[in-house]
Amino acid sequence: MIERIDASRCPACRTIVAPPASYCPHHPVAMEPVSLPGAGEIVSFTTLHSPPTGFKAPLHIALVELEGGARFVCHGAETRGLRIGSPVAIEAVGRVYYFSYLGVVDRARLFWRRAGHAGDRVNAIARSLAKRVWKG
Ligand SMILES: [Zn+2]
Protein backbone atom coordinates (compact mmCIF):
# COMPACT_ATOMS: atom_id res chain seq x y z
CA MET A 1 0.00 0.00 0.00
CA ILE A 2 1.38 3.34 -1.02
CA GLU A 3 0.84 6.36 1.21
CA ARG A 4 -2.35 8.29 0.40
CA ILE A 5 -2.43 12.07 0.27
CA ASP A 6 -5.59 13.93 1.29
CA ALA A 7 -6.63 16.57 -1.22
CA SER A 8 -9.70 18.40 -2.52
CA ARG A 9 -11.27 18.40 -5.98
CA CYS A 10 -13.55 21.01 -7.49
CA PRO A 11 -16.71 19.31 -8.90
CA ALA A 12 -17.00 22.11 -11.48
CA CYS A 13 -13.53 22.60 -12.99
CA ARG A 14 -11.82 19.42 -11.63
CA THR A 15 -8.96 21.39 -10.09
CA ILE A 16 -7.18 19.37 -7.40
CA VAL A 17 -5.40 21.03 -4.49
CA ALA A 18 -3.45 19.76 -1.50
CA PRO A 19 -3.59 20.29 1.41
CA PRO A 20 -7.40 20.08 1.31
CA ALA A 21 -9.27 23.38 0.88
CA SER A 22 -12.93 24.24 1.45
CA TYR A 23 -13.37 26.24 -1.75
CA CYS A 24 -11.99 26.11 -5.27
CA PRO A 25 -9.21 28.67 -5.81
CA HIS A 26 -10.82 29.64 -9.13
CA HIS A 27 -14.43 30.25 -8.09
CA PRO A 28 -16.63 29.98 -4.96
CA VAL A 29 -17.55 26.30 -5.30
CA ALA A 30 -17.30 23.89 -2.35
CA MET A 31 -14.68 21.22 -3.03
CA GLU A 32 -15.04 17.50 -2.36
CA PRO A 33 -12.42 15.41 -0.54
CA VAL A 34 -10.25 13.03 -2.57
CA SER A 35 -7.35 10.74 -1.74
CA LEU A 36 -4.38 10.56 -4.11
CA PRO A 37 -1.56 8.03 -4.35
CA GLY A 38 1.56 9.51 -2.76
CA ALA A 39 3.77 9.31 -5.82
CA GLY A 40 4.62 12.01 -8.29
CA GLU A 41 7.23 13.81 -10.33
CA ILE A 42 9.60 16.65 -9.62
CA VAL A 43 8.52 19.85 -11.36
CA SER A 44 11.19 22.07 -9.81
CA PHE A 45 13.52 22.02 -6.83
CA THR A 46 15.93 24.21 -4.95
CA THR A 47 18.08 24.45 -1.86
CA LEU A 48 17.72 27.43 0.44
CA HIS A 49 20.90 28.29 2.31
CA SER A 50 19.20 31.12 4.19
CA PRO A 51 15.82 29.53 4.96
CA PRO A 52 12.96 31.24 6.81
CA THR A 53 13.11 31.43 10.61
CA GLY A 54 12.37 28.08 12.19
CA PHE A 55 14.02 26.00 9.49
CA LYS A 56 17.50 24.52 9.51
CA ALA A 57 19.93 25.34 6.70
CA PRO A 58 20.31 24.03 4.11
CA LEU A 59 16.60 23.57 3.40
CA HIS A 60 15.83 21.30 0.46
CA ILE A 61 12.47 21.88 -1.15
CA ALA A 62 10.83 20.60 -4.31
CA LEU A 63 7.67 21.32 -6.24
CA VAL A 64 6.03 17.95 -6.90
CA GLU A 65 3.12 17.15 -9.18
CA LEU A 66 0.94 14.16 -8.39
CA GLU A 67 -1.13 12.29 -10.94
CA GLY A 68 -4.23 14.42 -11.31
CA GLY A 69 -2.25 17.63 -11.39
CA ALA A 70 -2.07 18.64 -7.74
CA ARG A 71 1.17 20.52 -7.17
CA PHE A 72 2.68 21.34 -3.82
CA VAL A 73 5.91 22.11 -2.07
CA CYS A 74 7.69 19.24 -0.30
CA HIS A 75 10.66 19.07 2.02
CA GLY A 76 13.39 16.52 1.50
CA ALA A 77 16.65 15.26 2.96
CA GLU A 78 18.61 16.31 -0.11
CA THR A 79 18.27 17.34 -3.73
CA ARG A 80 21.52 15.77 -4.98
CA GLY A 81 20.81 13.56 -8.00
CA LEU A 82 17.36 15.07 -8.42
CA ARG A 83 16.13 16.09 -11.88
CA ILE A 84 13.01 17.59 -13.35
CA GLY A 85 10.72 14.61 -13.89
CA SER A 86 12.37 12.42 -11.25
CA PRO A 87 9.88 10.01 -9.65
CA VAL A 88 9.45 10.63 -5.95
CA ALA A 89 7.41 9.16 -3.14
CA ILE A 90 5.42 11.63 -1.05
CA GLU A 91 4.57 11.38 2.61
CA ALA A 92 2.32 13.75 4.50
CA VAL A 93 3.06 14.52 8.14
CA GLY A 94 0.20 16.70 9.23
CA ARG A 95 0.07 19.42 6.59
CA VAL A 96 3.77 19.19 5.78
CA TYR A 97 4.88 17.06 2.83
CA TYR A 98 8.14 15.21 2.46
CA PHE A 99 9.57 13.73 -0.70
CA SER A 100 12.05 10.92 -1.02
CA TYR A 101 13.87 10.41 -4.27
CA LEU A 102 14.24 6.81 -5.36
CA GLY A 103 17.00 6.48 -7.91
CA VAL A 104 17.55 3.36 -9.99
CA VAL A 105 20.13 1.97 -7.57
CA ASP A 106 17.89 2.68 -4.57
CA ARG A 107 14.93 1.01 -6.25
CA ALA A 108 16.97 -2.08 -7.12
CA ARG A 109 18.31 -2.29 -3.58
CA LEU A 110 14.84 -1.91 -2.07
CA PHE A 111 13.50 -4.78 -4.13
CA TRP A 112 15.91 -7.13 -2.42
CA ARG A 113 15.38 -5.90 1.09
CA ARG A 114 12.66 -7.97 2.67
CA ALA A 115 13.32 -7.69 6.38
CA GLY A 116 11.87 -5.11 8.73
CA HIS A 117 8.45 -3.50 8.86
CA ALA A 118 9.78 -0.16 7.55
CA GLY A 119 11.11 -1.99 4.50
CA ASP A 120 7.65 -3.30 3.59
CA ARG A 121 6.24 0.18 3.18
CA VAL A 122 9.26 1.43 1.24
CA ASN A 123 9.08 -1.65 -0.98
CA ALA A 124 5.45 -0.94 -1.76
CA ILE A 125 6.30 2.61 -2.75
CA ALA A 126 9.25 1.44 -4.85
CA ARG A 127 7.10 -1.15 -6.65
CA SER A 128 4.47 1.43 -7.44
CA LEU A 129 7.08 3.89 -8.73
CA ALA A 130 8.80 1.20 -10.79
CA LYS A 131 5.49 0.31 -12.41
CA ARG A 132 5.06 3.94 -13.42
CA VAL A 133 8.62 4.41 -14.61
CA TRP A 134 9.11 1.17 -16.47
CA LYS A 135 5.66 0.71 -17.99
CA GLY A 136 5.62 0.69 -21.77
ZN1 LIG B 1 -13.26 25.08 -9.67
Specify the CATH number for the domain of residue 25. 2.40.50.840
Answer with the residue of higher pLDDT: 132 or 109. 132
SS3 of residue 31 by DSSP = coil
User: Considering its fold, how many domains does the chain have in total?
Assistant: 1
Question: Ligand 1 centroid to 13 CA: how many Å?
Answer: 4
Question: Ligand 1 centroid to 63 CA: how many Å?
Answer: 22
5-37 tens-digit pLDDT: 888 999 999 888 888 899 999 999 999 999 988
Give the residue numbers spanning the domain of 42. 4-134
Question: Ligand 1 centroid to 33 CA: how many Å?
Answer: 13
pLDDT of 134 = 53
Question: Ligand 1 centroid to 8 CA: how many Å?
Answer: 10
Residue whose C-alpha is closest to residue 77's, from 41, 54, 102: 102
Question: Ligand 1 centroid to 89 CA: how many Å?
Answer: 27
85-125 tens-digit pLDDT: 988 888 887 777 888 875 555 544 444 443 344 445 555 55
Q: Beta strands 16-17 and 32-37: pairing type?
A: unpaired
